[in-house]
Amino acid sequence: MYKSLAVAIALATTALASTAAYADDAPASPITVTGSVDLTTQYRLRGISQTDNDAAIQGGITITHSSGLYVSTWASNLAGAGDFGGAHMELDLIGGYSKAVGPVTLDGGFIYYAYPGVNKPYNVDYYEIYGSVSGKVGPANAKLGAYWAPSQSHIAWSGSKGHNIWIYTDWGLPISGTPFTLKAHAGYSDGNSSYTRSAGHIFDYGVGVDATYKNLTLNVSYVGTDVGRTDSLDWDGGSETGRAITKGNVVATLTAAF
């Protein structure tokens, strides 16, 4: 019995070793799939609340090829002025290319914003072209990028067509030996769009901190814009006033990555 057991163990060990060796020899898949789910106290797009200062559940998934090409989708619930009277949802469809060039990473692509349930003639779907460069600046992680919405009728605030450009920078400073990273953001938008509205241009900002544990990240930030009290009336439309959704507020977001 003991001899038979020893033979069985030996055969099983040999089989496992062969399987492991085969797995090591097998080529790695050129495709990777990543994603995340967020629970946030409110969804702020470029500093302005899209959920009437209420909570949001968000999620996205990205399929990346080893060449650097990727496709992605992301969605969030909406409320108040942010939902345009539709199905209370934003759905983003994204395609792009990312490549490391020396010490920096270049990224660019196309993003289509869909708002299900908002039908013609009130359709507000639109698209943007984006690009960024990111890398290390001393101990900090830095990014500089832009999103450009070419002239299109669905984003016009006045007149037959609208356009918009958003230039932004993000910074992160990891605190060595801790799970914390200090974060800072600044953005500037200019154009004739439903985002800038009568203000014509908006400065948005955010400062906060990330706390990471395994695949979980908790971010707490103070986020806002420079939209003044008079211009903020243009963002009325929900139970919150335009002033409430454009001025600074604390936003907490818990992200689970997979």
Inside any domain, residue 85: yes
Q: What CATH number has the domain bearing residue 212?
A: 2.40.160.40
| Start-to-end Cα distance in the chain | 46
The torsion angles phi and psi of 235, rounded to 5 degrees, stand at -95, 10
Inside any domain, residue 21: no
**Residue 126 Rama label (left phi>0; alpha psi -120 to 50; beta):** beta
What's the CA gap between 168 and 84, in Å, rounded?
Answer: 25
Element (H, E) at 51: none
Inside any domain, residue 50: yes
For residue 10, give the 3-state DSSP assignment: helix
Domain count, the chain: 1
Per-residue pLDDT of the chain (258 residues; tens, 9 = 90+): 433 434 333 444 444 444 444 445 667 899 999 999 999 999 999 999 999 999 999 999 999 999 999 999 999 999 987 777 777 999 999 999 999 999 999 999 999 999 988 876 677 899 999 999 999 999 999 999 999 999 998 888 776 789 999 999 999 999 999 999 999 999 999 999 888 887 789 999 999 999 999 999 999 999 999 998 888 888 776 667 888 999 999 999 999 999
Inside any domain, residue 15: no
Q: What is the extent of the structural domain holding 101? A: 30-257
Inside any domain, residue 207: yes
176, 187, 110, 209: which is closest to 143 by C-alpha?
187
Inside any domain, residue 43: yes
